[in-house]
Structure 1
Amino acid sequence: MQIKSTGDARGSAPGRRIARGAFAWVLGALLAVSGIATGTGVGIAPAQATDPQNATVTTLTGKIVNSAGQPVAGATLTASPNRGDSASAPPRTAKTGADGTFSLTNDLLDGFVLVVDGPAPYVSSVLDTTGKLAAGDSSKMRIFNGGGATALGALTLQTGVKVSGTATLSGYVAKTDGSATLTGAGATAGKYFGFPLRGLQNGANAWSTYVVPGNYTLEGWIESRNVKVPGPNADKSFTVGASGLAGLNLTFAGSGIGLSGTATDPDGRPAAGVMVNASNTSGNGNRFTKSDASGNWTLVDLPAGNYKLDLQNGGHGDFGFWKSGSATVVPDSANATVINATTAGLKTGFNVTMRRGAPNEPTGVSATAGDARATVTWQTPSDRNGVSIYQYTVTAYAGATAVKTVSTTGAKTATVTGLTNGTAYTFKVQAFTGFGASPLSAASAAVTPKAPPVPGVATRISGASRYDTAANVSKASFTQTGGTVYLANGLGLPDALAAAPVAGHGKSPILLVETNAIPAATAAELKRLKPAKIVLLGGSGVISDSMIAKVKTASGAGTVERWNGSDRYATAADVAKRAFPGTVDTVYIANGLGLPDALASAPVAGIGNSPILLVATASVPSVTAARLAALKPKKIVVLGGTGVVPKALESKLAAAAGSNPSIVRWAGSDRYSTAATVTTQAFGSGAATVYVANGLGLPDALAAAPVAAVQNAPILLVEAGAIPSSTATALRTLKSKRKIDRIVVLGGSGVVSDAVLAQLRGYTG
């Protein structure tokens, strides 16, 4: 099965395409096999020259049978590129043997479909995505990509019925080729059956083909005129029944004027597949054809007028015009000879030699930056005009300025050295053959060379107890005196959690005390800080009233306040009331008994100047609900999974807020993965500093929360002797966004081992 490719009757230049459905263009690609010269056309995709350097070998095997399961011998199988084809690289074909088996090897560019043409009375078909042969068309053609062997099994070829008629020509100066198409209509819509009309001459030319029964319209084309001629039923469909249909006639009337000649390649060989276009200088339309295997071409039906001939074929040479007396084509229309074709007859002797052209530009240029260098890769030009590339050059550009060029002999990669770290560069590639240089390629995306990262550090802040560690965290991070210090009971961590965002946003430390005593390390740090104000977190049962005088003496503070409530929920609400008197964008919600899940959110809340409120496992305490109503948040972040804060509480929280807030949940399978989730959600751009605490040693982490907030740093959790996988993943994610300069481990080697500290160091830099 073949279909002629043509343009429209108004006259069209090479390159014009008229789409007629998926199957039609596949059939058009087979013209190179049939020997029918192609113009532009009905359903043909733009031609692509085959590039052996980019070829992929695919082998298809199977068996062609009829509906009775009997083998079909002599069927032609064609691997037709779904990107089109050129005469210099026709589609690959194979025939079935006496037993119906076949083996078809395709070495063209990736992406082809399988078309099967059987001997009479079988109809031509294409393999579809269901693994079956679809007669005439398939809306789901299977496209083969990549190499390797594929066994297709038995494929059934459908038997058709015969349709026949005549193609009657008059006024043609030489034999010509054409084609016809039966196009499905009505219930047969989507079917296309194309067939060649070879060796047409003046008079009646009989034709026949096989199709499936149905409703059709008929159209025919003469390739040399590139013109469509409707059949007798062009505007209405006719029915092909089970016994077929005869008397389908086409009529082609020519002008009696023609031109002919030969095309030769630069090496003196016949140039097959050269597109020959006769351009009418008065604007009366173009006519075009292609040279045959011997390089001969004929335009058999020209309207009377004056013409210039231009010729083009990437497989044998570049574009050019015919000039009388010139040894080769000339590059521009202004120097072309005008041919007078106003009288009947065939004018001969328009013989041309194609000039050798330069290759197309390389494609797919990309670059990868290194230290003062970049490695550049690219793809071979789509058209090398049949010769090898002996050299590529790669040029680096800083902005619009070319700064360095390197060359390589044939390899499609090169490294450009001597670049400046921190400067953005793009790269363009040029190809060279013995017949010239290609245009410069399109620029690569910009890349910026940079020096290798300097390894960061992993340090430890610790103390003999939780009180000492908190004091040492403060000492390492807060140098300013005269501010505010928050004091929490070292055994009453919920109060400290609620205050951590407030302390962080205010750049104030949290220190730990006992109910009735100030540990020595805390007292020493209070003396160093000389705070103007001290805030006691929790009621007198947590930090006794007698402590007020003691902390004043130890610190010299003029003001001591107590932020507290009747329980941990009320204390968190009181902290929020004092620190956030107006409305806020975000509120963080944690289970008052599930503090590990909320721990990592403390610095995040501090950075965003947001409060943390507490809920019970099964309810929203009234103090929490009242504070939500006052804060009117736009967003509520629930910390921990549904086993910590049940799903049912989300609607209650939203109702309490009364501000139609969005509800999001940051959770993981355990405290380590929850902290990792909080970190990846809140630090999407990475972090220069990361704090790491033992997941079972929460006082150390709470003391560091204000510091982490000040430094825009997350808190992640580890085990004493291991880094959980979720924590490791979070560290890798942070490092992929930006370099981690410092990891600070909270607690001594009994809390986080030296081995873990050494492993953490590997995530820096």
Structure 2
Amino acid sequence: MLPLSVRRRSVCAAAAGVVLAASTLFIAPGAQAAPMPIDTPIFCPPNIAQIGVPFVPSSGVYDEDGGSYTVSITGALPAGLALVERTGLSPKITGTPTRLGSSTFIISLLDQYAQTKQKTCFLDVVPAGSNIERIGAVDRYAEAVDIAYANLAPGADPVIYLASGENFADALSASALASQHGGSVLLTTRDTLPSSTEEYIMRRSPSHVVVVGSDNTISESVVAQLRATSGGSTITRIGGVDRYETSRMLIDDAKFGAKASSELFVATGTKFPDALSASPAAATLSAPVLLVNGTASALSADEKALLIARGVKSATVFGGEDTLSAGLKNDLAATVGAAARIDGVDRYAVSAHTVAKYFPAPVAPSDTVYLATGANFPDALAGGALAGAKHAPILLVSKSCMTAEVATEITRLKPHHLVLLGGPNTLDATLGTLPLCS
């Protein structure tokens, strides 16, 4: 443990009383007000440092609004870095890294009431001149929060789409729309709002929170937590009897749905891999992603009605015929006039082919390519809103290597920033050298 005491102005409750909304809570004479839990956010330093290059994060390890904390580090920082005190400010982790490698450590805050708060952080030291970066957190819920912070615009968030972190379907439709509305995708469990998600919403006070899915996917207890957390945010649930109706309802919503577009992307609602790169590609055309039953031989009447009402003239389906049937693609073409398929031998090939079609080199204006694991869905779906907002692609990779097709796309795009979505347990920092899978 590396303790460091940092004194800031106190946030003790008033002895005489606490005003809450329009009423007053009186504390009996001599009684002690219960200490408030630590609500100050902890900030991990940037996930990537370069050997021999001074590492100077722009912010300290916690928000500098209030509190009096002892800050400590559990676990080893990379060689050459240390927690450094700053008079009257939050301390920083800074220095010059001297050794390559990956470190995991915990930042802890201790207040005057012996209450604690912790956050797990990752930091990779890579060769000087590397273009690799990382947005990584301890779990999928905290990861989505860190991605949302990377997507921040000045002022409050206009909208947050809250989707299940336990199932991919609703987040897939939401990811494409979030970038259209300048928002982010956060994840939740069915019955409890994760602390990282709750803290973000409390701190950012978004204008709107859209709960994506029925109460079978996100329960009313989570909505109740949202109402208690989000301050003045309006909370809207958009959910149907199944993932397919939810997708249609979300696209068709007048306020939070898809903007006008003659293009439509179509993905199966039963398998996630082939559509993981679709959201940022859809953003290039302001197109929504519609989920369908890929095993069906034709569109449903409700799906056809949506396409006709939106004036869709062209559709693109993702994945092979084992993912989305030939009959369904043919019915799409008959309904809207044209339908194309993006396919490949595996999820990585579909990802590379998607990027090849929708992202000509160079990747302007963001000059960034995002990498996500192809083994699971949360990082790519939360990252889809960020990538869409930055007009940048997402490519799928394995933990420590990539296919030749993916490496070819990265080389073609010549990004200045190659951003890993996920911690070191998910993606290795050595991916910056474009290692090929054997």
Q: Which residue of 2 aligns with 1:575?
A: 250
Q: Which residue of 2 aligns with 1:639?
A: 318
Residue 670 of structure 1 pairs with residue 346 of structure 2:
yes
Amino acid at match of 2:208: K
Listed one character per residue, the Cα deviations across residues 132-180 of structure 1 (whole Å, up to 9, x for unaligned) are xxxxxxxxxxxxxxxxxxxxxxxxxxxxxxxxxxxxxxxxxxxxxxxxx
Amino acid at match of 1:462: G
CA contact (8 A) 1:743 1:760 kept: no
Task: State the alpha-carbon separation in 1 of the partners of residues 165 and 284 from structure 2.
Answer: 24
Residue 591 of structure 1 pairs with residue 268 of structure 2:
yes
SS at structure 1 position matched to 2:386: helix
Task: State the alpha-carbon separation in 1 of the partners of residues 214 and 282 from structure 2.
Answer: 24
CA contact (8 A) 1:496 1:702 kept: yes
Residue 679 of structure 1 pairs with residue 355 of structure 2:
yes
| Residue segments in structure 1 that go unaligned for 5+ positions in a row | 1-453
Amino acid at match of 2:132: A
Amino acid at match of 1:625: K
CA contact (8 A) 2:176 2:288 kept: yes
Q: Which of 261, 277, 282 lines up with 1:600 in the alignment?
A: 277
Q: Which residue of 1 aligns with 2:293?
A: 616
Task: State the alpha-carbon separation in 2 of the partners of residues 563 and 477 from structure 1.
Answer: 23
Bigger Rg, which one: 1
CA contact (8 A) 1:692 1:743 kept: yes
Distance 1:558 1:534, change over 3 A: same
Deviation at 1:648, TM superposition (A): 2.0
Residue 731 of structure 1 pairs with residue 406 of structure 2:
no
Amino acid at match of 1:678: T
Listed one character per residue, the Cα deviations across residues 12-66 of structure 1 (whole Å, up to 9, x for unaligned) are xxxxxxxxxxxxxxxxxxxxxxxxxxxxxxxxxxxxxxxxxxxxxxxxxxxxxxx
CA contact (8 A) 1:589 1:613 kept: yes
CA contact (8 A) 2:295 2:323 kept: no
CA contact (8 A) 2:261 2:285 kept: no
Task: State the alpha-carbon separation in 1 of the partners of residues 251 and 416 from structure 2.
Answer: 33
Task: State the alpha-carbon separation in 2 of the partners of residues 626 and 491 from structure 1.
Answer: 30
Could you say which structure has the higher strand fraction? Answer: 1
Q: Which residue of 2 aligns with 1:486?
A: 161
Distance 1:647 1:573, change over 3 A: same
Q: Which residue of 2 aligns with 1:628?
A: 307
Q: Which of 651, 668, 681 lines up with 2:330 in the alignment?
A: 651
- Taking structure 1 as the reference length, the TM-score comes to 0.38
Amino acid at match of 1:592: G
Task: State the alpha-carbon separation in 1 of the partners of residues 130 and 340 from structure 2.
Answer: 34
Q: Which residue of 2 aligns with 1:714?
A: 393
Residue 750 of structure 1 pairs with residue 425 of structure 2:
yes
Task: State the alpha-carbon separation in 1 of the partners of residues 168 and 233 from structure 2.
Answer: 26
1:48-127 mapped onto 2 (5 Å cutoff): none
Residue 458 of structure 1 pairs with residue 132 of structure 2:
yes
1:690-701 mapped onto 2 (5 Å cutoff): 690-701=369-380
Residue 545 of structure 1 pairs with residue 220 of structure 2:
yes
Listed one character per residue, the Cα deviations across residues 491-520 of structure 1 (whole Å, up to 9, x for unaligned) are 121101001111011110111111111111
- Taking structure 2 as the reference length, the TM-score comes to 0.65
Listed one character per residue, the Cα deviations across residues 564-601 of structure 1 (whole Å, up to 9, x for unaligned) are 11111111111111145785210001111122111101
CA contact (8 A) 1:455 1:741 kept: no
Q: Which of 142, 147, 162 lines up with 1:468 in the alignment?
A: 142
Deviation at 1:606, TM superposition (A): 2.1
CA contact (8 A) 2:355 2:394 kept: yes
| Residue segments in structure 2 that go unaligned for 5+ positions in a row | 1-127
SS at structure 2 position matched to 1:515: coil
Number of residue equivalences: 301
Distance 1:624 1:760, change over 3 A: same
Q: Which of 240, 249, 259 lines up with 1:565 in the alignment?
A: 240
Deviation at 1:720, TM superposition (A): 0.9
1:429-440 mapped onto 2 (5 Å cutoff): none
Task: State the alpha-carbon separation in 2 of the partners of residues 694 and 719 from structure 1.
Answer: 6
Distance 1:655 1:636, change over 3 A: same
Q: Which of 167, 177, 181 lines up with 1:502 in the alignment?
A: 177
Distance 1:581 1:729, change over 3 A: closer
Task: State the alpha-carbon separation in 2 of the partners of residues 705 and 624 from structure 1.
Answer: 24
Q: Which of 200, 207, 211 lines up with 1:532 in the alignment?
A: 207
% identical aligned pairs: 31
1:364-403 mapped onto 2 (5 Å cutoff): none
CA contact (8 A) 1:489 1:512 kept: yes
SS at structure 2 position matched to 1:608: coil
Deviation at 1:760, TM superposition (A): 4.3
1:236-275 mapped onto 2 (5 Å cutoff): none
Amino acid at match of 2:205: K
Deviation at 1:556, TM superposition (A): 1.3
Distance 1:485 1:561, change over 3 A: same
Amino acid at match of 2:224: A
Distance 1:559 1:580, change over 3 A: closer
SS at structure 2 position matched to 1:727: helix
Q: Which residue of 2 aligns with 1:759?
A: 433
Task: State the alpha-carbon separation in 1 of the partners of residues 389 and 258 from structure 2.
Answer: 22
Q: Which residue of 1 aligns with 2:31?
A: none
Could you say which structure has the higher helix fraction? Answer: 2
**RMSD, matched Cα:** 2.0
Amino acid at match of 2:169: P
Deviation at 1:455, TM superposition (A): 5.2
Distance 1:713 1:582, change over 3 A: closer
Distance 1:730 1:482, change over 3 A: closer
Deviation at 1:557, TM superposition (A): 3.6
CA contact (8 A) 2:400 2:435 kept: no
Deviation at 1:555, TM superposition (A): 1.9
Deviation at 1:651, TM superposition (A): 2.1
CA contact (8 A) 1:680 1:734 kept: no
